[in-house]
Every structure is written in structure tokens, then in C-alpha cells.
Chains A and B, each alone.
Chain A
Amino acid sequence: DVKVTQSSRYLVKRTGEKVFLECVQDMDHENMFWYRQDPGLGLRLIYFSYDVKMKEKGDIPEGYSVSREKKERFSLILESASTNQTSMYLCASSLSGGAWYGYTFGSGTRLTVV
């Protein structure tokens, strides 16, 4: 079964820490995405990548960075975690071009910053 795997389901970090959220997909998808999900706000795109070493800002990139050194892995980095970054983080991937199948999501990482 094809998958998008997020390394942690739950994380608790302290304010000011550097936090890494990891996402790996085994579908050879070109595109990968990081969203955060908050009640009443739905999904908001943080960053996405359409190729190795390529990245594009989404709607809310402030306070975050990303890394894509290999096609299958897309990392989200919180340079200095703050309490307003407490949220559910969702990784997704998709094919580029051709027939359109939508996104495949990971199970999410619930991050709490204290």
C-alpha cells in the first residue's frame, strides 16, 4: 500500500527549540506539501516543493523553513518554536502532470509547544 509517513504522531517541544518534522513518501511523487490544520481555519499551506531542492512559499511560511534533499523526503523546520505554532501538521504528496488523482496525506503530527 502506498504511503506518506510522518515520523511522529505527537510531539511536545519547548518555546525556542528548533523542531524538525519529517515526511517520507514511497510513491515517487514529484510534489510534496506541508499544511497546518487549526479548528475553524481548515488547512493552510505552509510550503510546497515540486522537485528536489526546490521549494515554494505557501500562504503562511513565516516562522518555518523546509528541506528537500531527496525526492521521497520533505522536512518542515521550525527555527525557533513558539506557542502559536501549536497545531496539527499534515504532509501530502501528489503526481505532477498527467491524470489528476489528488493528494495523498500522512497521518499528521500533533505538535504542542509549551
Chain B
Amino acid sequence: AQSVTQLDSQVPVFEEAPVELRCNYSSSVSVYLFWYVQYPNQGLQLLLKYLSGSTLVESINGFEAEFNKSQTSFHLRKPSVHISDTAEYFCAVRGTGANNLFFGTGTRLTVIP
């Protein structure tokens, strides 16, 4: 069975400070992992994904996530956040069959000026 745990429901951080959003998963199939971002009053957008290969994946706006098989984690990090990063972030893991993406409950990142 597949599941995702996002350990922090809310993360406040000052502008230009580093941030880590935590995600742990369980999966009985080959692991594909995703981070989605949801800006206020919008749908979810794919931020980055791990399918295979390098365990460190990056997004175009400076976020990165590292797949750690031994710790079953896929934490999202950014070395210096901006006000525009304020959003809700969802971690997801592939499942089986047509319904094949399982989401965590989300982490609300608030960047404080």
C-alpha cells in the first residue's frame, strides 16, 4: 500500500532564510515521488518529481528534493525563500492502477517579510 506523511502542517519562515518541508512515504511498488505547489486560490502545479536516476532533483525556482530510500523520505528544501514562495506544498507518491497518485495532507509555507 502507498501512503504519504507530511509532518508539518504549517511552516513559517523569514524571507531569505532556508526552509525544509518534510515528506515520508511508504510504497509497495517502484517509487515515483512528486512535490506539487498550490498558490492561493489556484490549482496544484507540479514543482518537481523523482522517477529514477539522480536522487537529487531540482525545480526551476530554486527548490530541490532528495530521494532517500533508506529513510523513505523526499524532503523539499530551498536555501533562501522569497515572499512569492508562500503557498501550500503537497508531497505525493505513485500508487498502482489508474488511481495512481497518493497525496499528503499538505504543508502551508508562510514567508514573513
Contact = CB atoms under 8 A, between A and B. Distances in A.
Interface of A: 4, 6, 9, 30-31, 33, 40-43, 45, 48, 50, 56, 58, 90, 92, 94, 96, 99-108, 110
Contacts of A4: 43
Given A40-B9, A42-B105, A48-B99, A102 B49 contact: yes
Nearest to A104: B46
Contacts, number: 58
Contacts of B51: 99-100
Contacts of B94: 100
Contacts of A102: 34, 36, 46, 49, 92, 101
A4 B46 CA distance: 13
Interface of B: 9, 32, 34, 36, 41-46, 49, 51, 90, 92, 94, 98-101, 103-106
B99 A45 contact: yes
A107 B42 contact: yes
Contacts of A110: 41
B105 A41 contact: yes
A56 B51 CA distance: 26
